[in-house]
Amino acid sequence: MSRPKYSILVVDDDKNICKMIEINLRKTKEYEVRTALNGESCLKAIREEIPDLVLLDIQMPGIDGIETLKRIRDEDPRIPVIMMSAHGTIEKAVQSMKLGAYDFITKPFPADRLLVTVKNALMTSSLKREVDELRTELKKKYHFDNIVGQSGKMQEVFRAMEKIIDSNVTVLIQGESGTGKELIARAIHYQSKRANKPFVAVNCSALPESLLESELFGHERGAFTGATGKRIGKFEVANGGTIFLDEIGLMTQVTQAKLLRVLQEREFERVGGNELVKVDVRVISATNVDLEEAVKNGSFREDLYYRISVFPIKLPPLRERKEDIPLLAAHFLDKFAKQENKNIEGIAPDAMELLMNYHWPGNVRELENAIERAVLLANSNEITPKDLPQNVRAIGERKVYEKESTLSSWIEKLEEEALRQALLECEGNISKTAKKLGIGRATIYRKAKKYGLPMVNK
C-alpha cells in the first residue's frame, strides 16, 4: 500500500508558474496538487479541504499574498505557508515571516530548491503536530482529575496547588517515598501557563557533585577532562518551563551555593565559562528527608532552604489517609485491567480489608504495584486475597490472629470471674462448685489452678 500523499495548494496569479510548480511536485509522486489563481480562490480551496501546505505568491491582484496569509492563519494557524517572492518583494517576504509564514523562496527558483523547501516545511509541521498531540496527552494525563484523593489531607493539597498554579512561586514538595511528589510537580507544570514549555526533572542524588553541576548548568568546551564540546544544562533546557529538582536534600554544598544564586538572580555561568546565562524557569523541588533537620545539622544551607520552600506542600503518607485506599485501588485496577485487557470488576471485601489494614511503607507506589500484580494474577472477575502480595496478606493474617487472641483472652477473663464467684459461694469446695456449674471436678481443679483461685480439695 502506498503511503498517503501530502496535499499542496499552489497560489499564483500567473497560470504558467502554477503549472510549472504543479508538474515539478507531481513528478515526485508524493504530492496531490491543487492550484488557485488569487487570494479568494485560495481561501475557498482551503475551506473545501485543508491542505498540508500552501505555496503562496506575494504579489497578486485583489487580496495580496500578505493579506491572504493573515486570513489563512485565521482559518487554521497550523497550515505551513511558504511565500513566493519575486524580485522587489523581498521586504514583504520578511514581513510575512513575522506573520508566521514558514519560509520564503525567491522566484525564479530551480525545481530541486522548491522540492527541498517543501519537504522541510512538511517535516517540521508534522513534527510540530506530533509534539502538540503529545503535549495534549500529557496535559490530560497530569490533570488534577487523575490525582486521586478524597481525604481531607489530599483535598488540602489540591486547594494549595490551585492557589499557586499560575504564579511562578518556588514550590517544595515534601513526603515519604511513593507519596506522589513527582506526580504533583508534573500536574502543577502541565496545568500552568508554562505547560507548552518543557518540564525537566533532575535527580540530584543520582550524580556525583561535579557531574550534577554540569548537568544543571551546562559546561563550556574543555571545562574539565572529557568535556569535548559545549553542552547546555537542564536549567537552559527548561527555559520558559519548569525544572523539578528531585531529592534536593542530597545536593552537595557547592551545588547548593550555585543553585542559590540562580534562584536569587535567575542567571548563572556554565561550568568553565564566564558568559552570563539568563533563564526564566520555575523551580519545584522535592525531598523525602527532613530539610529542617538537615538545616539544623548543617548539611543544608539555611538561605537556600528559605528560597526553595517559599510554598511548601506536604504529602501525607498513605497510612494517614486510609480513606483514599479504596479509591486509589479502584483507580489502579481500572488502569491495569484496561492495560492487560482483563475483565476484572472489583476487589472482594476480604481483599479490600487486607488493603485497608496494611501500613503501606512504600505508599501509593506500593499500592499501585500490588494492584498491578493482582491484576496479572487474578483468575476471576474480582481481586481476591490470594492475588495480593505476601506481606499485605501477612498483616491481615496477623490481624485475624490478634483478633482471635483478644477474643480468647476475653473469654478467659469471663471464665475466671465465673469460677471465682462459684468457688466463693461454695466456700472453695471443688465438688460443690462442679455440681453448681455442671462441669466435671477435674476441669474445675485444672482451671482453678490455672487462675490461682483458692479451693478446698473435697
Ligand X SMILES: Nc1ncnc2c1ncn2[C@@H]1O[C@H](COP(=O)(O)OP(=O)(O)OP(=O)(O)O)[C@@H](O)[C@H]1O
Residues that bind Mg ion (CB under 5 A): 182
CB of 254 to ligand X, least distance (A): 24
Q: Give the count of alpha carbons within 13 A of 282, CB side only.
A: 27
Q: Which of 115, 183, 437, 439 binds ligand X (CB under 6 A)?
A: 183
- 148's contact among Mg ion, ligand X, none, with CB below 5 to 8 A by partner kind, is ligand X
Q: Which of 51, 65, 149, 317 binds ligand X (CB under 6 A)?
A: 149
Q: Which of 83, 147, 259, 448 binds ligand X (CB under 6 A)?
A: 147
CB of 200 to Mg ion, least distance (A): 14
Which amino acid would we find at residue 282?
R
What does the alpha-carbon distance between residue 230 and residue 279 come to, in Å, rounded to a whole number?
18
Nearest to 273 by CA among 318, 236, 206, 223: 223
Q: Which CB sits closer to ligand X, 79 or 392?
A: 392
Distances (CA, A) of 277 to 197, 215, 241, 269, 408: 18, 15, 16, 6, 73
CB of 160 to ligand X, least distance (A): 14
CB of 396 to ligand X, least distance (A): 22
281 CB neighbour count, 10 Å cutoff: 22
Q: Which residues pair with 105 in a beta bridge?
A: 84
255 binds ligand X (CB under 6 A): no
Q: Which CB sits closer to Mg ion, 38 or 287?
A: 287
Site residues for ligand X, window 277-336 (CB under 6 A)? Answer: 288, 328, 331
CB environment 406-432: b (16+ within 10 A), e (fewer): eeeeeeeeeebeebeebbeebebbbeb
- 65's contact among ligand X, Mg ion, none, with CB below 5 to 8 A by partner kind, is none
364 CB neighbour count, 10 Å cutoff: 27
- 147's contact among ligand X, Mg ion, none, with CB below 5 to 8 A by partner kind, is ligand X
Q: Which CB sits closer to ligand X, 186 or 234?
A: 186
Q: Which CB sits closer to Mg ion, 176 or 182?
A: 182
CB of 332 to ligand X, least distance (A): 7
92 binds ligand X (CB under 6 A): no
The DSSP letter of residue 274 is -
177 binds ligand X (CB under 6 A): yes
Distances (CA, A) of 187 to 146, 183, 203, 287: 9, 6, 18, 17
Distances (CA, A) of 456 to 415, 440, 442, 444, 448: 19, 15, 13, 11, 11
Question: Considering only 26-34, 87-95, 174-182, 260-268, which stretch makes contact with ligand X by CB under 6 A?
Answer: 174-182
CB of 224 to ligand X, least distance (A): 29
- Give me 334's grid cell: 481500572
- 368's contact among Mg ion, ligand X, none, with CB below 5 to 8 A by partner kind, is ligand X
Strand segments, DSSP code E, in 373-440 are 382-383
Site residues for ligand X, window 213-252 (CB under 6 A)? Answer: none
What does the alpha-carbon distance between residue 106 and residue 322 come to, in Å, rounded to a whole number?
68
Q: Which residues bind ligand X (CB under 6 A)?
A: 147-149, 175, 177-183, 288, 328, 331, 364-365, 368
